[in-house]
Structure 1
């Protein structure tokens, strides 16, 4: 569908929904991905109960879908749940699940300021004064995300979806996660002996979680918006699920998300100990160092499998791109890092 046609359809739809005259200005395509696309849009509503000017991002499904990624409908529900729990994330609104309007379900969310680019967050001089503040803000917001539990979710369909195949009756969250990763690995072409070794270690060393909580699923530098005033909002919830809090905490600290600042283990901008201390205070929990190592190993394996999956999108012809091909070659880095962590843990 052409952008002009999309704009006209949305103006008509919103006019009917909001009971007023709607005009959309400055509708510009933003970077999206294989399974979703975004447009910046300024919306003016004249008349009706919701009249006003809205600075928004229009978010919709594309054609493809990444493994374990949420649909826009379920992503909206998760964003709403997080927003209502006090998480600093763009407020989502105007969900439409009927695909006949534009061809796919969609929703709008408030447009926020700032940049998410990794190298900007870790190196730009304009953020020098707020990086310590950013550490505290992210810790507090992650604690707010983890305050949401399955018992609090009243939408039974969403509750089931957020299991994402990790439910493993009678087992721990860790064992369920390992089981899901093994299924992914078994479905891949080729042999990956290093990954098999890592999976075996994860199976033998799985520990019960203190609780099953809402996990962002991709909580890292690059998925939160920042400017010189600090954190503006956490974005990209498409991999949210129920899980162990240590998963998010260690994903941020993985070597691959430091963007050259390897000495700053928390996302390339803070010391790990500083971030964990702020989180423990905000969440009122004590982190387990053994679980930290365990879930960091798990994260590296998950990303190694993800890298192979990205390369397969290119090799299959589904989504051709040099970036996808190059990411595939990085799986060995995550294998090495996971095995290094395992070796360090037994010294």
Structure 2
């Protein structure tokens, strides 16, 4: 997206939306991964004869999003739910569903400080004190707050439809069927994934409650400074599900960025995170359920990685990042089967 073209379009559109003159003083592209585009914007807003500066982030889709990701409208609405629940997350500011402005829908949110890169969070000496005193408990607390959002608390009918109302009895099997369907759409066979899905179907646990799940709660999706957690980001994979999903996803081997002995995101220990979560949620974390959803998470990420590779190989969205992600599929397959073996040997 050409920033020179983007600036006047945004200035004109936001001036109309806010009924006040808007001038963009600075704009630059932020990293947003394979599916998202994020732009940092410093703007001047003239309102009622008074001038004020605002620092915001514009978030929109880049190319084709993954099939399981939310639309920008639904992602914005989920961010609003999280913000109202007290989760430390950037405040959602404005939603634009008209794709004629920039070529795709977008939304604006508060710009927060910090860095989200895995290397910084798990290895940078600047965070040594916070890693020892606060990072685990802060993230556990905010995850527990997110999980206070229930299906009954959502009034937006379109969001309800997208998030798929589900029940505790059918949820795990629904996840397995969805993954089987996606796997069948891939052009090549993945016997390790099929074997793992069969095991998941035979060993599905009871779900204690259906809650709002972040869906990608991991190192890389929260902003940190030496002063602490600044905000949780990226709700594009949010859905109704089992609270243990989010806990398991954070603990997955792939999100430890080389710090394999620190099973919580590469920076913490499971018992500490579980206790901090329990202190806020008043819900006991079930270790076996975490492992089950960790296996499910690895299978989901294995299929997602294969999907990304297929986008590149098919020519639909050429990109070295997509191709590189595809090479991770085998790693997730191996990890899922390793965890299954551990579960079987522990019985």
TM-score, length-scaled by structure 1: 0.95
Conserved? CA contact 1:18–1:49, under 8 Å: no
Aligned equivalent of 2:247: 249
Aligned equivalent of 2:327: 329
Q: How many residues align?
A: 344
Q: Separation in 2 of the partners of 1:48 and 1:35?
A: 39
Q: Separation in 1 of the partners of 2:331 and 2:184?
A: 20
Conserved? CA contact 2:305–2:326, under 8 Å: yes
Structure 1 residues 179, 112: CA separation in 2 closer, same or farther (over 3 Å shift)? same
Aligned equivalent of 1:16: 16
Q: Separation in 1 of the partners of 2:118 and 2:209?
A: 31
Q: Would you say 1:220 and 2:218 are equivalent positions?
A: yes
Q: Separation in 2 of the partners of 1:257 and 1:307?
A: 14
In structure 2, stretches of 5+ residues that fail to align are none
SS at match of 1:58: strand
Aligned equivalent of 2:45: 45
Aligned equivalent of 1:26: 26
Structure 1 residues 261, 50: CA separation in 2 closer, same or farther (over 3 Å shift)? farther
In structure 1, stretches of 5+ residues that fail to align are none
Aligned equivalent of 1:70: 70
> How big is each residue's C-alpha offset from its partner over 1:195-226, in whole Å with a ceiling of 9 and x where there is no partner?
11100010011122111111111000011000
Conserved? CA contact 2:211–2:242, under 8 Å: yes
Q: Separation in 2 of the partners of 1:286 and 1:54?
A: 42
Aligned equivalent of 2:195: 197
- Please identify runs of 4+ aligned residues in structure 1 that moved more than 6 A: none
Q: Separation in 1 of the partners of 2:294 and 2:329?
A: 15
SS at match of 2:129: coil
Once superposed, what is the RMSD of the aligned Cα atoms? 1.7
Conserved? CA contact 1:34–1:64, under 8 Å: no
TM-score, length-scaled by structure 2: 0.95
Equivalent runs, 1:89-238 vs 2, <5 Å: 89-131=89-131, 132-163=133-164, 167=166, 171-238=169-236
Conserved? CA contact 1:216–1:240, under 8 Å: yes
Query: How much has 1:327 moved relative to structure 2?
Result: 2.2
Conserved? CA contact 1:82–1:145, under 8 Å: yes
